[in-house]
Structure 1
Amino acid sequence: MKLFSMSSSSLSRRAYSSFNKTQIRTRNRTKFRWKTSPAFRSLYRSISHLGDPDVSVVPALDEWIRQGKPATKWDLQRLITVLMGSKRFRHALEVSLWMCNGKRYPISPFDIGVRLKLILKNFNIEQAENYFNKIPEHLRTNQIYLAILNCYTISKSVDKAESIMQKARELGYADRPIWYNLMMNLYCKLGNREKLRELLAEMESKGVSYDQFTYSVCLSACAAASDAAGMDRVMSVMESDPSVTVHWQTLVTAAQSYLRIGSFDEAMQLLNKLIKQLARCSQRNVLVVLLLNLCAEAGKKEELHRIWESYKGRKVVNKVYISMIRSLIKFNDIEEVEKIFEEWESGALTFDFRVPNFLIDAYSTDGRVDKAEALIARVVSKGGCPLVTTWCHLAGGYMKKNQVAEALRSLRKAISACPPKFASQKQSLITCLEYLQNNECLEEAEELIKSLRTSGMSGAPASDEFCGFREDAGEEQDFEGALVSEDDEDVDD
């Protein structure tokens, strides 16, 4: 598949032309950078420990105000963005509602756009669309249309996404690559390569510059078509494009794409480039997680250990431990997993039960339920709280050994640990329990337990306080990163 039908020389001329246009735009527009204040850091600390989505952050915010502490709109918007980055979408929506309700601050187009995304993440596309339809016409800026386009592309609502894109063209908003990237990402996921090529041609005809996300989508499309030559061509054009600073995230996408089509040598070359960027990366924990995942996918155990050894001298956060343990499990190296777990256990990190959960799963899968039980008891004695999936792992292990009574006991614990809001998952557990109690359909019960173990037992919060539109007299803000993420996954990820 040829995403770029032009010759290399034509692409080079186009790259330098877009570089000149980018330089002009950059001189006329100051790029925004978040600046954290001591007040913001103190505010964030006051709610950061409330990691459970069932625990509202509103009382903490109310207490903050009651104590007479400052909560500027700037800091609250920053707080929402940080929470979104940590996938704490329920808490981010709570802060958004709290910020604009009660006449604390007027709602701006930026706030509306962010809330659209949060409604989608917490609920569904129908709720987001209902909210969009209530937005007064005079507040529907390019930010709002960009946010609803993002919602439609995430939910794969093709016709509605195309309608919004056409509206953006008519209003003159679609003059930046982000609009095209969102649509191309949608077509890439749906396997519609022809539409993707049409958008690339439209960008070319309208003089809209490619950016690193444009290239990332093209790389993913080539990988989906197992087009190694196409990937090489995209990489060559991207690296020679002076208007694009190739970000490490784009290199990760490229490495993942090469692995997908079996081009291991090219993937390892990119992996080595990424390792060199690790020391100066501002999101080192995120990059380390991705590098560990890449090494596991490539089957490079030595590289996996090399990255771990070079990194673990610093403070290692839970998500990095989780990634290392998950990667070692892919190599079926349980002894190494146990060593990493002991390192985590001896540290002073928050006792996140997801870390031992991987080892509990491995023990249960191998039928070593006695070790799984002992590990659960050990972690509980240190203040850990087992997850629903913890008991599902254990139930699955007992099912493998035909120990139905023990599996029943584990399932009852899973049911008691399941939050009330996860009604569908709780009902699935109850159904499974009933299968076992009747001592029938054991295979079906085992399959149900397996699906519950892999589902993560996730759910969505409930709230319908979305509105409160008023014009913001303050300065308009253009923080695209909070409105959309061009690498967003599906809404139910």
Structure 2
Amino acid sequence: MNLRHPSRISSFLKCCLRVRVFSSAQALTSPSPPPPRTRGDSLYHRISPLGDPTVSLVPVLEGWIKEGKTVKRWELEGMIKQLRKYRRFKHALEVSQWMTDRRYFELSQSTVAIRLDLISKVHGLEHAEKYFNNIPIKLKSTETYGTLLNCYVQRKFVEKAEALFQKMKDLGLVNSLSYNTLMNLYLQTERYEKFDNVVKEMDRNSIRRDVFTFSIQMTRLVATADIDGMEAALRKMEDDPLIAPNWDVYLIVADGYKKAGLPDKALEMLKRSEALVTRDQRRIAYDFLLTMYAGIGRKDEMYRLWNLQKSSSKKVSNASYISMIVSLAKLDDIEGAEKIIAEWESVCFCYDFRVPNRLIVAYCKKGLFVKAESFINKAIQEGKTPYPSTWECLATGYLEDNQIPRGVEMMKKAMSVKRHGWKPNSDNVASCLEYFKGQGDVEGAEEFVRLLRPWVPPTRDVYHRLLRTYVIAGKSVSDVLDRMKEDGLDADEELHEILKTGQDS
């Protein structure tokens, strides 16, 4: 968890700080209860297995009503909450729209805020802005404004976020949540002077800092290696009788100490963090704690926590197995990681290759390519189909080890497997095309681009690399130029340079 890099900061905040707190759409004043856990038939029981986002839930919802069954508003809101939790945003939006359009439940400020967030995730920011502009004045609350602000922050649109925040201030709709959201933006974009100005403004306007304000502030101090400032902020938070620290805060402080080379102090903070984890928070918290214990080289604490997690949970999640495998690999304990995989294979009901992928990555980093391929081939012999990402793990390993032909072969295998939701790594694609260019292998490059097209449309960079291969091979580029035009890519300066090079040669 390298918090010095802005993208890592964002990832850390989203998971460890539970960035949902920054979204007004999710910080509802009256959260809906989850769907009832009924055995047998229920509406949620029917829609839950439909994981493919291209399959609409509307026929299932309509069918439920046609059977003469009823559904209450709180049940639908609970379904939306669950679907969002599992990142099934398109389905959550369908239920939200069906709830008002077909069941005629009246829109509330919270409903509007949640829908705005879902529209942004499913259809993009432009559609979300259009929806926001058409929201009735009475429904434009701190929640709805805060949700749009969060949409801007997620995309790091600084100017739009600042303009909206100013409008919220003019309307008297800002609160600590709004300030936290803006601070999160400045943290992600490394605008530390603006970040500090927001903190000062909160103090001037008597906006109370909450636990999440302190969490963000300490993350900023860790990012700039200001351990003294981090400790001062921690003391100020602990001295505030109205603030109850949570496990997230001490995990951030532990990360700061780890980076400062103070493992004993980091361990103390991790113990404090662990003591604050509630039963409902165990899965995500323990996963982070495992990683942090690995970061300070405490394998004994990792196994203690791992055994505690298994004893306190009916089923350990795949994500937790991944955390343990990654943590062991970080400590170069490949044998330990292999044992965890064997344990997982003995209890898993559905073979999710994202778990063994982490072992394959570990093998490749250690140069154990024979072991990595043997593991995959054994799975195939047992009737399992590796994911595209599994082959790409191998491809990345080979390419980084400068075994380019093998890397190219593995990338081709990855692109030959049909699985929704995967996209080839652009760096790997570039490396493979560079290989074909170096070989002057037009047929190989064309086959690679053909395999690539179902996953992502060829980009300008892909076409440029393909054109250079044609030029090196001394072949006509007219057909490539025609395809490039069909894909809506006009000529640019780099293209003219490529063609000029071909003419000069």
Instruction: Give the alignment's TM-score, normalised by structure 2.
Output: 0.72
Which residue in 2 is equivalent to 1:311?
309
Which residue in 2 is equivalent to 1:113?
113
SS for the counterpart of 1:135 is coil
Distance 1:397-1:261 versus aligned 2 partners, 3 A rule = closer
Higher relative contact order (CA 8 A, sep 6+): 1
The yes-or-no answer on 1:284 pairing with 2:275 is: no
How many Å separate the matches in 2 of 1:70 and 1:381?
A: 48
How many Å separate the matches in 2 of 1:195 and 1:434?
A: 42
How many Å separate the matches in 2 of 1:383 and 1:59?
A: 34
Which residue in 1 is equivalent to 2:471?
none
- Alpha-carbon deviations, 1:200-230, whole Å to 9, x = none? 3333333322110111111112112211111
Which residue in 1 is equivalent to 2:18?
none
- Aligned-residue sequence identity (percent) comes to 36
Distance 1:124-1:102 versus aligned 2 partners, 3 A rule = same
Offset of residue 101 of structure 1: 3.8
Query: 2:32 touches 2:74 (CA, 8 Å); kept in 1?
Result: no
| Alignment-mate amino acid for residue 319 of structure 1 | A
How many Å separate the matches in 2 of 1:216 and 1:458?
A: 38
| Alignment-mate amino acid for residue 292 of structure 2 | L
- Structure 1 range deviating more: 33-42 or 372-381: 33-42
SS for the counterpart of 2:439 is coil
SS for the counterpart of 1:283 is helix
How many Å separate the matches in 2 of 1:458 and 1:247?
A: 42
Which residue in 2 is equivalent to 1:361?
361
SS for the counterpart of 1:95 is helix
- Alpha-carbon deviations, 1:351-382, whole Å to 9, x = none? 22110111222334444444333322444566
Distance 1:91-1:235 versus aligned 2 partners, 3 A rule = same
Query: 1:295 touches 1:304 (CA, 8 Å); kept in 2?
Result: yes
In structure 1, runs of 5+ residues without a counterpart are 1-29, 450-456, 460-493
Which residue in 2 is equivalent to 1:198?
197
Distance 1:298-1:98 versus aligned 2 partners, 3 A rule = farther
Offset of residue 346 of structure 1: 0.4
Offset of residue 173 of structure 1: 1.5
Query: 1:415 touches 1:430 (CA, 8 Å); kept in 2?
Result: no
Instruction: Give the alignment's TM-score, normalised by structure 1.
Output: 0.73
Offset of residue 53 of structure 1: 4.3
Offset of residue 180 of structure 1: 1.1
Offset of residue 345 of structure 1: 0.4
Query: 1:44 touches 1:79 (CA, 8 Å); kept in 2?
Result: yes
Offset of residue 94 of structure 1: 3.5
Distance 1:252-1:365 versus aligned 2 partners, 3 A rule = closer
| Alignment-mate amino acid for residue 255 of structure 2 | Q
Distance 1:100-1:385 versus aligned 2 partners, 3 A rule = farther
| Alignment-mate amino acid for residue 228 of structure 2 | A
How many Å separate the matches in 2 of 1:204 and 1:420?
A: 49
How many Å separate the matches in 1 of 2:73 and 2:280?
A: 25
Query: 2:392 touches 2:411 (CA, 8 Å); kept in 1?
Result: yes
Query: 1:53 touches 1:91 (CA, 8 Å); kept in 2?
Result: yes
How many Å separate the matches in 2 of 1:71 and 1:243?
A: 40
How many Å separate the matches in 1 of 2:129 and 2:38?
A: 32
The yes-or-no answer on 1:294 pairing with 2:271 is: no
Structure 2 matches for 1:185-264, cutoff 5 A? 185-264=184-263
| Alignment-mate amino acid for residue 238 of structure 2 | E
- Alpha-carbon deviations, 1:379-416, whole Å to 9, x = none? 45666442221111233455558483x65553333223
| Alignment-mate amino acid for residue 316 of structure 1 | V
| Alignment-mate amino acid for residue 375 of structure 1 | F
Which residue in 2 is equivalent to 1:391?
391
Distance 1:81-1:254 versus aligned 2 partners, 3 A rule = farther
How many Å separate the matches in 1 of 2:54 and 2:91?
A: 9
The yes-or-no answer on 1:152 pairing with 2:166 is: no
- Structure 1 range deviating more: 427-436 or 233-242: 427-436
Offset of residue 298 of structure 1: 2.5
Distance 1:65-1:377 versus aligned 2 partners, 3 A rule = farther
Which residue in 1 is equivalent to 2:488?
none
How many Å separate the matches in 2 of 1:128 and 1:135?
A: 11
How many Å separate the matches in 2 of 1:298 and 1:70?
A: 54
Which residue in 2 is equivalent to 1:180?
179
| Alignment-mate amino acid for residue 227 of structure 1 | D
Distance 1:349-1:268 versus aligned 2 partners, 3 A rule = farther
How many Å separate the matches in 2 of 1:347 and 1:284?
A: 20
Query: 1:258 touches 1:267 (CA, 8 Å); kept in 2?
Result: yes
Distance 1:402-1:258 versus aligned 2 partners, 3 A rule = closer
| Alignment-mate amino acid for residue 281 of structure 1 | R
- Give the aligned length: 414
Structure 2 matches for 1:80-95, cutoff 5 A? 80-95=80-95
Distance 1:86-1:299 versus aligned 2 partners, 3 A rule = farther
Which residue in 2 is equivalent to 1:265?
264
How many Å separate the matches in 2 of 1:241 and 1:251?
A: 16
Distance 1:59-1:108 versus aligned 2 partners, 3 A rule = same
Distance 1:67-1:257 versus aligned 2 partners, 3 A rule = farther
Query: 1:177 touches 1:209 (CA, 8 Å); kept in 2?
Result: yes
Structure 2 matches for 1:364-379, cutoff 5 A? 364-379=364-379
Q: Which has the larger radius of gyration?
A: 2
Distance 1:360-1:31 versus aligned 2 partners, 3 A rule = same
Which residue in 1 is equivalent to 2:13?
none
Distance 1:407-1:323 versus aligned 2 partners, 3 A rule = same
Query: 1:365 touches 1:396 (CA, 8 Å); kept in 2?
Result: no
How many Å separate the matches in 1 of 2:363 and 2:318?
A: 21
How many Å separate the matches in 2 of 1:191 and 1:432?
A: 31
The two structures, once aligned, show a CA RMSD in angstroms of 3.5
Structure 2 matches for 1:63-142, cutoff 5 A? 63-102=63-102, 104-122=104-122, 124-142=124-142
Which residue in 1 is equivalent to 2:322?
322
Query: 2:246 touches 2:273 (CA, 8 Å); kept in 1?
Result: no
Structure 2 matches for 1:470-489, cutoff 5 A? none
How many Å separate the matches in 1 of 2:440 and 2:106?
A: 58
The yes-or-no answer on 1:169 pairing with 2:180 is: no
Offset of residue 106 of structure 1: 3.9
Distance 1:398-1:246 versus aligned 2 partners, 3 A rule = closer
How many Å separate the matches in 2 of 1:298 and 1:194?
A: 31
How many Å separate the matches in 2 of 1:188 and 1:434?
A: 36
How many Å separate the matches in 2 of 1:441 and 1:334?
A: 40
SS for the counterpart of 2:280 is coil
Which residue in 2 is equivalent to 1:26?
none
Distance 1:380-1:129 versus aligned 2 partners, 3 A rule = farther
- Alpha-carbon deviations, 1:20-74, whole Å to 9, x = none? xxxxxxxxxx964543453778444433344454555445444444444443222
Offset of residue 154 of structure 1: 1.9
Query: 2:364 touches 2:394 (CA, 8 Å); kept in 1?
Result: yes
Query: 1:223 touches 1:261 (CA, 8 Å); kept in 2?
Result: no
Offset of residue 188 of structure 1: 2.4
- Alpha-carbon deviations, 1:227-279, whole Å to 9, x = none? 1111111111111111111122232233233334444333211101122334x
- Structure 1 range deviating more: 232-241 or 379-388: 379-388
SS for the counterpart of 2:156 is coil
How many Å separate the matches in 1 of 2:224 and 2:52?
A: 41
